[in-house]
Amino acid sequence: MTSESSVPSHRSASEGADAPPPPPPPPLPASGVQMPATPPSVWVTAPQPPVVATTPPLPMSPPAAPLHYESPQSNLQPPGVPRYGAILPPSTVRPSTDGGSGSGSSASGPSRAPVPDRRGLWAAVGAVVATALIAAGFGLAKIVENDSSPVADSASRTTVAAATTQASTTSTGSAPVAANASEPAAEVAVKVGPSVVLINNVQASSSGSGIVYDKTGVIFTNAHVVEGATTVDITFSNGRTERNVAVIARDVARDIALLRVAARDDLVPAVFAKTADVRVGQIAIAIGAPFGLDQSVTQGIVSAVGRIVPSFGNCGNDMIQTDAPINPGNSGGALVDKQGRLIGMNTSIRTSGATSTGSVGVGFAVPGDTIKADVDRMLKGEATDVAFLGVGQAAVESNGDGVLVGSVSANSPASTAGIRQGDVITTLNGDKVSTFADIRARIQTAKPGDVFEMKITRDGQSQTVKATLTKSPNCRS
């Protein structure tokens, strides 16, 4: 965020009391157009002296040139070739690469000299393969960094640093805002704002957002926000800043990272909504720090659920789509319902081209259930490998009574369990499923080794099969 001061382009009549009277109006044009009886205000044309800002501007510039992908589309995506960009604000210094896309603005101290302003948007890229495999490698996507230096070795695997304490349970209490609030966005801003923080990635000289997970001091954000950093600076909604906050874990495939501050009673953890309850068309409110402007609030709706978009781990993440305006710097921020319950973490936007630098009404958020499952594993020091089933989507899913299997990967858990192309999956672990999004959501929160018991229908006959999930061969880990 830069500090800007403006010079008025005109002055009022009182300011020109001592100036000579304006010249008379020009003669009437031949066309007969009437000129105003009263001459227009006097415009200042002389150059104005520069106004010196009282505080130095905060530098902002792009960490990398925009990147794009051009590839065949998954049949879950809308027509055309979309461009996806991690929602990062401008930065001033390239970070070291660490398997994500840097983000962060500068809450840096006075010792850091200002850097000339170079505005722009870092856009991450991905390629979605046409074959949609239901594994979290389903709708494969990849985000790579486009700079002159090679990607660091650590970028080729998911890095998980064990936390120093046991996993904690995040807030599952009542909603922060009443269901019948007359101005839900205004109340959400007050109630949820303290749960959202500004993250300054000092090493990248860029900024993003984060969300308080629990009172022990755990904060989660996107992995690309803390790319290349071992510590970051965090500013809370009350203006309090903590410097050198440790990055304790990161899951590149799901684009989630954890930070830890000192435990405090005044920390306000986010209250999670159930992902299964998120409905297309419901109100969605985004809170974050676009362009370093912390505690910014925008409102829209949930545009779609179960949308497959690129991620850092060579796999497609199942995301919530929203038209709530989100921009560079919203990465890691909250997407909540009208009662202030977290439905997702804002992560990326679709961009219209190489010069696009802002919201076009198509943003994506990691679902809350995915966040909770992943955070709990990282806090326990468990692996965050992405699970794999190995069934592909059919062009027509089914008649509504199940999910039609379009393909089965060879030697996959589904193949081993006896699932065939043309089978219809009707239940998964006792719950009815009607779309591939239902199955993907289960896989995204599952672990390799988990067992899926599925009821399938084949040639009018019903049978039950069990598949033991394996590690996805498509996702980097």
Supply the residues annotated as catalytic: 224, 255, 331
* Structure-block tokens of residue 17: 């009391």
85-88-94-99 Cα dihedral, nearest 10 degrees: -60
Cα 82–84–90 angle (5° rounding)?
Answer: 140
* Structure-block tokens of residue 416: 């081993």
How far, rounded to the nearest angstrom, does the alpha carbon of residue 130 sit from its chain's CA centroid? 24
**Secondary structure in 3-state letters for 279-338:** CCCCEEEEEECHHHCCCEEEEEEEEEEEEEEECCCCCEEEEEEECCCCCCCCCCCEEECC
Cα 30 from Cα 118, distance rounded (Å)? 50
Contact 81, 138 (CB under 8 A): no
Cα 305 from Cα 292, distance rounded (Å)? 28
**For the chain, how many residues are written?**
477
Contact 407, 358 (CB under 8 A): no
What distance, in Å, lies between the first and last C-alpha atoms of the chain? Answer: 35
Contact 195, 341 (CB under 8 A): no
Task: Return the beta strands (E) in 311-460 as ranges.
Answer: 316-322, 334-336, 342-351, 363-367, 387-388, 391-393, 403-408, 424-428, 431-432, 451-458
How many alpha carbons lie under 13 Å from residue 61 in its C-beta half-sphere?
A: 11
Alpha helices in 77-202 (DSSP H): 184-192
Q: At what angle do helices 368-380 and 436-445 cross, to 10 degrees?
A: 20
Cα 314 from Cα 477, distance rounded (Å)? 9
Residues 6+ apart with CB under 8 A from 88: 63, 101, 102, 103, 121, 122, 206, 208, 224, 225, 328, 329, 331
Provide long-range contacts, Cβ within 8 A and 24+ apart, for 431-434.
433/402, 433/403, 434/397, 434/398, 434/400, 434/401, 434/402, 434/403
Cα 92 from Cα 145, distance rounded (Å)? 16
